[in-house]
Structure 1
Amino acid sequence: MSKVNSGPSIYIPTDKNIFDALQHKKVTQGELVSFLSRRGILVSRNISKQQLTEKICAMTLSYSDFNWVAKLLENPNRKDKTTHSKLKGDVEYSQISSACATVKANLTASSDDSVKLTKNGDKTTLTITYVDHDFTKTELRQRTVKTCEIQIEQADDGVVMKLPSTRKAKEVSEQLKSIMKAQVIEAGGAELEECSISLEALCDATIRSQFFDHLIRSVPGFEFDNVSSVDVYHFEKEQRDEFEEDDESDARLASYINKAALAGEGVLDSTEFKQLHKQGFYIYKIIWTAVEDSFEGPKVEFEAQFGKPDSCTDFKYTVRGVYQYNSRTAEHNVTRRATTLYENEEYNLKIKDASEKALEIVIGKFGA
């Protein structure tokens, strides 16, 4: 497909679009004062933001002025949750490289995406910079420049693909997997088997909750500390009659509520959680802390969930932050700091390993 050349957009924001945009908290009063000063209008810094906004909206704005407003409102490239999948089979590096090159060519030909391909040892990384649009937001807040990295690492039994849990990354990863599968078959190899973390075949609520119980207690190099938040789900295949007489209050509760969230110290030991669990609710999202086994190791807060709670598919996870150990007080700090790039990659790898181990345990115990 050849790239379609088109001219610039003729969209011009209305006065209301500009007013709504300038009212956002990301647009500071100082930014508005600076804008007016560049136009030769001097105002007091004590003037209200409302008055500044009304003054600017009454002015004739140029294309560069629209870009200035849009730039102020662009969302930062926030840290997305991570997911992974595995293609089991005999995959050569040349096939991985060829698949990445094909996807890169397709993306650059059909869009304005910037794609970079790098290799470091057994790891091949496809970095894509693209513009994401969210049309649920006001006009000047819809555009966000994002970057996603898809890592393809060769393993003994195939390749592991790690990627952000975003729509763009999933679309690109599906293209990569499709091309690699076709190349392996064309080369005379066996069909690649795709494996991911899923509890869709395990429909029992207790089993699904046990997956998370094994997960939080089996992170390599960490000792489980505490669960601070759980989200539970109840899926009933057959809807009950609203007026059906039922002496069991648990069944009536489950027929009206299918989601619940609990937060606080020791959530798993709370009476409320145990009551919901008995009624057929199961965990689909959990936030917990664990302490690193090393001397004066930090306490790390993890999060894991299934994006589709009814089927327990679309598994994703993230590292929320680190509580550093304070040798002076002999306790961990109460303030959480963000992880470094190295820590984020290391801890995400540990969650990946723990999730695979937890899935293996529940499948081995209950079958699938």
Structure 2
Amino acid sequence: MKRFGPSLYFASDKVIFDSINQRAVNVDLVRELLEERGIFVSTKTSKEELAKYFSRLTADYFDHQSIASKLGRIAKKERFTAFDIDNEIERDQIVDAVKEMKKEADDRGEVLNFDTSNPDRIVIEIAYDHIDYTKTELRQVQPRDAIIEFIKDTSGKYSVRNTHNNYTDSVVEKICKFLGEASGETISKTTVNLQSHPEATKRTAFFEALIKGVDNHELVTVTEAFCYKPPKGKLQDDDDDDNDEKELEDSPLVERVGLRGRAVTKSLVIDGLYKSGYYIIKVIWQVKPKISLDSDIFELEAQFSEPGDCTGFSYQTKRVLIFEEGKITDKTRHPKAAEEAALAQMIEQAAKSAYKAITGS
């Protein structure tokens, strides 16, 4: 059963202190909260002392809302997923479906905007609140942005790219439902998944082909690889002690194994995992553009969110390692929007090519 924490009815001093004293909250945010009350503090004062002082101040409902909104700004970067629409659909049908979705979003108090300036692309952005009762009280409501793109390819068909989470996936499903009602037929999708290919060797080969298949980029190294082995059924009672021992030895007591370092896919450890029936479900790797010797290095991530049947393929550009003075440094930066968009397209194409390579289709 999924567990939930307490919902917020009243923000006590302890609730406020615990919320702003978390490691994820930096001291600058606490100073900002105090400055809004006309209180200026020394840069030498610790965050814990500032949190203790602020939590003792009187706060009303609007103060609680302000604090919660500031704490809710902390959100990790989300992965993207994509699929191809097999049906022949018109651009106007997509726009009409998005307008229907906008009406529903308005009724829920969400903000949906869409951009149709590019004739080959429709971009949808939705500002919504993500509620997670497992967080501390003042961080249970987190403002987030959902991004959905309808992209027209050279054949005239559309593919869909969106942030990969339950909320955005449900919005995409509703838009596809509106499209199906408008066209009079169910929308058919083609996704990258290995559900019909349970062989461990094929599932690992998919990722091996993917990391080497990013167009116009060469593989630098693999820094993380996560392996998985589906659990067997419960052990059956048996009077034969030898059989019991053999079943225990053969049963995968460890379902998931994570390896971190450099060139982890070339280690002897992972070779042993392959022989034991494990296969890769998530990989983080680094690539470098071929066009320049002194270009920055991009760190990418791809995974199947459902490891058992290898569905829910998603990816992201995690960060960029800066190349400086003839070598790669420890300095990093966020990828630019243009870089992220280009790499997203290349990862999607590499995933399709990897799927074709292992299936022959």
How far did 1:11 drift? 3.5
Question: What are the superposed Cα offsets for residues 24-48 of structure 1, whole Å, 9 maximum, x if unpaired?
Answer: 24252883597389478x8877666
Aligned mate of 1:338, from 329, 334, 339: 334
TM-score normalized by structure 2?
0.87
TM-score normalized by structure 1?
0.85
Aligned mate of 1:353, from 336, 339, 349: 349
Aligned mate of 2:207, from 212, 224, 231: 212
Q: What amino acid is aligned across from residue 198 of structure 1 in structure 2?
A: N
Taking only the aligned residue pairs, the percentage that are identical comes to 24
Q: What amino acid is aligned across from residue 328 of structure 2 in structure 1?
A: H
> What is the 5 A alignment of 1:112-127?
112-119=109-116, 120-127=118-125
**Are residues 102 and 316 of structure 1, via their aligned partners in 2, closer, same or farther at CA, if it must alter by over 3 Å?**
same
> What is the 5 A alignment of 1:190-339?
191-241=186-236, 245=242, 252=249, 254-296=251-293, 297-326=295-324, 328-329=325-326, 331-339=327-335
Secondary structure of the equivalent of 1:255?
coil
Aligned residue for 1:132? Answer: 130
**Are residues 208 and 10 of structure 1, via their aligned partners in 2, closer, same or farther at CA, if it must alter by over 3 Å?**
closer
* Alpha-carbon separation, structure 2, partners of 1:15 and 1:153: 50
Mapped contact 2:192–2:352 kept (Cα < 8 A): yes
Aligned residue for 1:4? Answer: none
* Alpha-carbon separation, structure 1, partners of 2:272 and 2:246: 11
How far did 1:232 drift? 0.4
Mapped contact 1:132–1:146 kept (Cα < 8 A): yes
Q: What amino acid is aligned across from residue 227 of structure 2 in structure 1?
A: V
Secondary structure of the equivalent of 1:136?
coil
* Alpha-carbon separation, structure 1, partners of 2:168 and 2:148: 7
* Alpha-carbon separation, structure 1, partners of 2:86 and 2:282: 27
In the alignment, structure 1 residue 173 sits paired with structure 2 residue 168: no
Question: What are the superposed Cα offsets for residues 124-167 of structure 1, whole Å, 9 maximum, x if unpaired?
Answer: 11110111111101110112111111001223262100001122
* Alpha-carbon separation, structure 1, partners of 2:144 and 2:51: 29
Q: What amino acid is aligned across from residue 212 of structure 2 in structure 1?
A: R
Aligned residue for 2:13? Answer: 15
> What is the 5 A alignment of 1:25-40?
25=23, 26=25, 28=27, 31=30, 35=34, 38=37
How far did 1:246 drift? 6.1
Mapped contact 1:304–1:316 kept (Cα < 8 A): yes
**Are residues 286 and 134 of structure 1, via their aligned partners in 2, closer, same or farther at CA, if it must alter by over 3 Å?**
same
**Are residues 50 and 230 of structure 1, via their aligned partners in 2, closer, same or farther at CA, if it must alter by over 3 Å?**
closer
Which of 308-317 and 149-158 deviates more? 149-158
**Are residues 242 and 144 of structure 1, via their aligned partners in 2, closer, same or farther at CA, if it must alter by over 3 Å?**
farther
The number of residue pairs the alignment matches comes to 349
Secondary structure of the equivalent of 2:242?
coil
Q: How big is the alpha-carbon RMSD for the aligned residues of Structure 1 and Structure 2?
A: 2.9
Mapped contact 1:33–1:43 kept (Cα < 8 A): no
**Are residues 60 and 355 of structure 1, via their aligned partners in 2, closer, same or farther at CA, if it must alter by over 3 Å?**
same
How far did 1:239 drift? 3.6
Which of 50-59 and 339-348 deviates more? 50-59
Gaps of 5+ in 2: 1-6
Q: What amino acid is aligned across from residue 356 of structure 2 in structure 1?
A: E
Aligned mate of 1:87, from 85, 96, 106: 85
Mapped contact 1:21–1:69 kept (Cα < 8 A): no
Secondary structure of the equivalent of 2:332?
coil
Question: What are the superposed Cα offsets for residues 29-79 of structure 1, whole Å, 9 maximum, x if unpaired?
Answer: 883597389478x88776665555444444432233223422441233542
* Alpha-carbon separation, structure 2, partners of 1:293 and 1:248: 53
Mapped contact 1:254–1:280 kept (Cα < 8 A): no
Mapped contact 2:83–2:190 kept (Cα < 8 A): yes
Secondary structure of the equivalent of 1:24?
coil
* Alpha-carbon separation, structure 1, partners of 2:194 and 2:80: 18
Secondary structure of the equivalent of 1:311?
coil
> What is the 5 A alignment of 1:71-86?
71-86=69-84
Aligned residue for 1:363? Answer: 359
How far did 1:254 drift? 4.7
Question: What are the superposed Cα offsets for residues 65-100 of structure 1, whole Å, 9 maximum, x if unpaired?
Answer: 223422441233542111001111211112111111
* Alpha-carbon separation, structure 2, partners of 1:37 and 1:178: 47
Gaps of 5+ in 1: 1-8
Mapped contact 2:97–2:178 kept (Cα < 8 A): yes
> What is the 5 A alignment of 1:40-119?
49-109=47-107, 111-119=108-116
Mapped contact 2:31–2:41 kept (Cα < 8 A): no
Q: What amino acid is aligned across from residue 194 of structure 1 in structure 2?
A: K
Q: What amino acid is aligned across from residue 70 of structure 1 in structure 2?
A: A
